[in-house]
Amino acid sequence: SWLPMALAWAQARDREDQSLTNLLSGGLATTDRQRKEGELPADYVVVFTQVLPDGLGDVIFGENSVLELLPVGGVAWIRCYCSEDNSGAGENLVASTAASTCFSLGCTTKEAFFRAVPR
């Protein structure tokens, strides 16, 4: 599975700020009744989508994955665009699906990614 590798990478990169590690390991989860606004549900899956600069097919592929997983449980969807050129069009294209997830992030830089991941 990709999750152990992603978690190991996050732990290596995220020594001082544990937000990415928490997101991947489920460390933010509580029961749905105890969950506060902005926290992730107890059972969720993370969908990472890397959107290459050659078109928006990647974001549509990620959207299809999210739509298939939503009936099963909570989905945290992170979209990483390789350039700002297509990020606006991509975010407009998937806005309604992104709004239906328990966590949604579209970013073009690693700094924006780390600022936005819940703590």
pLDDT tens for each residue of 93-119: 999 999 999 989 899 988 888 887 766
- Going by C-beta distance under 8 Å and a sequence separation of 6 or more, which residues neighbour residue 89? 56
pLDDT score at 117: 72
pLDDT score at 33: 38
Q: Are 74 and 43 in contact (CB under 8 A)?
A: yes
Within 1-119, residue ranges assigned H as helices are 2-13, 19-25, 57-69, 87-93, 95-99, 110-116
Which one has a higher pLDDT value, 17 or 54?
54
pTM: 0.66
Q: Does the pLDDT value for residue 5 go beyond 60?
A: no
